[in-house]
Chain A
Amino acid sequence: MSFTKDTKLPSYEDLECPVVNVSSPALRAGSFHLAKYCDLQFKEFMLCRQEEQDPRKCVKEGKDVSLCAIDFFRKVRDTCNDTFTTFWTCLDNASEGEMGFHYCKKEQHAFEQCAKDKMNLERPEPGYFSMVRMHDTKRPVPSDPFRAGSLERHPPKLEVPNPPTLSQANEYPEARIGMKFGSRKPWVFEAKLWD
């Protein structure tokens, strides 16, 4: 509602992309192997999202993510379909709709074994995805690098000049008088700072 004619929204053609047509228990079942398979694309997309904080600028990376996910599930369907199906149906039937993994350990081990044998995909250790991961990209740094990683979503860009260098600061009246960049006793001498 707050988008004027001036805001650039991507067109319908730019947003065309095949949908990852997979239900939620199947997504949860294949989540670890999916993140291992599509690691690069996922990291690119999430980095772009965090740095730019603008979905319009990350449409291409999002498309890569979706295509890679579709590719992964197609591969699973071609090789490991049976174990995967038993696993996600078991998760679907877990109590209270939690889809908790501790109800389906056997099926999980069977699927992991199949993935290791046929798809050469090893699931990383249990604590891997909680840790901070580094990513190296060729993508250029966003326009406002001071915004990257800040908790404030859109910190204001203040029109202030650069702070003075130390040599410049030695000529300021504060330095000549005795107050320079925050001393403990600011009013050391009684003198006129500015006229």
Chain B
Amino acid sequence: MTGFSKVAVYRQELPPRGGFTPIPWTRVPSRRIPLWPFVSLWLASNIFGYFYHLSEKREYWKNEMEMDESRSCIEPVLLAEQDRITLRQYRANRDEEAKLMSDVPGWEVGTWFGSKIFKSRTYFPDRPHVLDYYGLARPSSQRLDINAGQWQI
């Protein structure tokens, strides 16, 4: 056809000078680190750790024993004081009950209108009993009595 006097200017995408960089196509195996240092470290920590754990256990139980022994050393002091406190309270409770129920007909102190709690032989509580100690106390005084939580029961 006619009228092709002007040539269109274009830029062609060509490979760079010197050609393309070579494509790595060979196999590249992954980086490997040796396993034996880790395994040996783990085994050594196991072995040393076992013996260290045994020594720590011994130390722990020694400390526990010491604490238990100190508690059993102190026990007689606390028990003696506790006995005296409870005996005093029992006496006060009995007197108070006698005072309270003096005008109730048929009531004997320590019984339910004459019928005893322990029928055949008398029983004295070895350790403090809640009802015997707090029998005539109001609930607020039960809560305020902090030392009773330390009693040897």
A binding-site residues for B, Cβ under 8 Å: 1-7, 9-12, 15, 17, 19-20, 27-28, 31-32, 34-35, 38, 41-42, 45-46, 49, 53-56, 58-59, 61-63, 65-66, 69, 98-102, 126-130, 153-154
Contact = CB atoms under 8 A, between A and B. Distances in A.
B79 A45 contact: yes
Interface residues of B, number: 44
Contacts of A28: 70-71, 74
Nearest to A46: B76
A126 B67 CA distance: 10
Contacts of B131: 1-2
Given A1-B132, A69-B77, A127-B65, 16 more contacts: A1-B93, A1-B135, A1-B136, A2-B131, A3-B90, A3-B132, A17-B84, A20-B77, A28-B74, A31-B70, A31-B71, A31-B74, A38-B76, A42-B76, A62-B84, A63-B80
A25 to B, nearest CB: 11
B83 A126 contact: no
A65 B81 CA distance: 9
A102 B126 contact: no
Given A28-B74, A32-B69, A55 B87 contact: yes
A66 B81 contact: yes
Contacts, number: 129
Contacts of B68: 130
Contact of A5 (B62, B88, B109, B132): B109
Interface in B105-153: 108-111, 116-118, 122-124, 126, 131-132, 135-136
Contacts of A34: 73-74, 77
B80 A62 contact: yes
Main DSSP-derived SS at the B contact region: helix
Contacts of B59: 102
Nearest to A131: B69
A187 B54 CA distance: 60
User: What are the 9 tightest A-B residue pairs by CB atom distance, in nearest-first order?
Assistant: A62-B80, A4-B110, A35-B73, A55-B83, A1-B135, A31-B70, A129-B69, A31-B73, A42-B76
Contacts of B109: 3-5
7 contacts: A41-B76, A46-B75, A54-B126, A63-B80, A66-B80, A101-B66, A127-B65
Residue among B69, B71, B75 with the highest chain A CB neighbour number at 10 A: B69
Nearest to B131: A1
Given A12-B91, A45-B80, A58-B83, A126 B132 contact: no
Given A45-B79, A46-B76, A59 B110 contact: no
A126 B90 contact: no
A98 to B, nearest CB: 8
